[in-house]
Amino acid sequence: MNLCDIETIRAVLGRHGFHFSKSLGQNFLTDESVPRRIAEMSGAAECGNAIEVGPGMGCLSAELCRRADKVVAVELDRALMPVLAETLADYDNFEVVHGDVLETDLAALCKEKFGDGKAIACANLPYYITTPAITALLESGAFEQVTVMVQKEVAQRICAEPGTAAYSAFSIYVQYHAKTEILFDVPADCFVPRPKVDSAVLKLVPLDKPAVETKDEKLFFSLVRAAFNMRRKTLVNALGPVLGSSMSKEEITALVEAAGLDARVRGERLSLAEYAKLADLAAEKLSN
């Protein structure tokens, strides 16, 4: 059964009375080369254990099952359970769990299904849960590699470098936790229903330790968020809401300059290392 064939998709979904849910951002792949490439690059064959978020019709699930020892999918839409039971009936190494990835303890799920073994994760993420889902996957600490398909613009933002328009607080968050790489683009016409924008497949390899060392991680991210919440303002002015209750504007200016930065710089130009240095100096100042 070709699970990416449009006629097969219509026939299977029709048998089960399934209707696409706009609220869940459901789009199914119609180009069989895409799930094959994702599975090949996912690390599933090397790792042996795979978690899939949002299996849909099961086209990526099938490719993962051909490579991994065990595949466990987390699916929110109960209407897809009988669909998956049909499309993946030939694979005894596949299991689907009903649940919301944002409310699932992924580390506990991996422990239950794979014992002490590590796992990889794959997901085709709808736009509305991209940020929280990637956050959950990275913070679980359960995965050797996370391979996700997201909107192309989101993938570019995650991999963006300082000083570019795409660089954001989320760029810094993900790069703090993982090595990032865009593997390939996926045109909108590879899906049904056809989305309005192109997608990209993104590879995230969680780091053993954060990309930069900082004395106060909470303060580090508070400064990052403040800087990007007011990205058109200078860093000195943007940090006011976070540091202003403890420091004067002159003291914040001195802090920025002590970090080796121009007082007129905007937050979008700082690297992770520069934010870490700034956060450490701020932590030292606030503790005195």
User: Tell me, what's the pLDDT at 24?
Assistant: 55
Looking at residue 28, what is its pLDDT? 78
Q: Contact 39/60 with Cβ under 8 angstroms?
A: yes
272 among the known binding-site residues?
A: no
1 domain residue, yes or no: no
What is the model's pLDDT at position 25?
A: 55
Residue 222 shares a structural domain with residue 202: no
**pLDDT of res. 26:** 65
pTM of the model: 0.93
Give the domain range for residue 241.
217-287
pLDDT in tens, the chain (288 residues): 788 888 888 888 889 887 766 555 567 788 999 999 999 999 999 999 999 999 988 999 999 999 999 999 999 989 999 999 999 999 999 999 999 999 999 999 999 999 988 999 999 888 889 999 999 999 999 999 999 999 999 999 999 999 999 999 999 999 999 999 999 999 999 988 888 999 999 999 999 999 999 999 999 999 999 999 998 899 999 999 999 888 999 999 999 999 999 999 999 999 999 999 999 999 999 987
**pLDDT value at position 18?**
77
- The reply to whether 86 and 148 lie within a common domain is yes
Quote the pLDDT of residue 22: 55
Query: Would the annotation count 75 as a binding residue?
Result: yes
User: What is the number of other CB atoms lying within 10 angstroms of the CB of residue 190?
Assistant: 20
Q: State yes or no: 288 annotated in a binding site.
A: no
| Residue 211 domain-assigned (yes or no) | no
Q: For the domain that residue 104 is a member of, what is the CATH number?
A: 3.40.50.150
Bridge-based pairing of strands 143-151 and 199-206 is: antiparallel
Beta bridge partners of 70: 49
Contact (CB, 8 A) for 193 and 126: no
pLDDT of residue 131: 96
Q: Which of 206, 239, 273 finishes a domain?
A: 206
Confidence (pLDDT) at 250:
95
Find out whether 100 is annotated in a ligand binding site: yes
**Per-residue confidence (pLDDT) for residue 145, from 0 to 100:** 99
Q: What angle do CA 171, 172, 177 make, to 5 degrees?
A: 105
Residues 77 and 17 in one domain: yes
Angle between the N-to-C axes of helices 130-139 and 169-177, in degrees from 0 to 180, rounded to the nearest 10: 20
* Cα distance between residue 165 and residue 151, in whole Å: 16
Q: What is the pLDDT of residue 193?
A: 82
* Residues 177, 239 within the same domain: no
Query: What's the CA gap between 176 and 186, in Å, rounded?
Result: 26
How many domains is the chain built from? 2
Same domain, 133 and 176: yes
CA atoms of 285 and 288, how far apart (whole Å): 6
The DSSP element (H or E) to which 157 belongs, if any, is helix 152-158
161 shares a domain with 65: yes
Boundary (domain end) residue, out of 206, 229, 256:
206
Domain finish residue from 206, 232, 250 = 206
Together in a domain, 76 and 134: yes
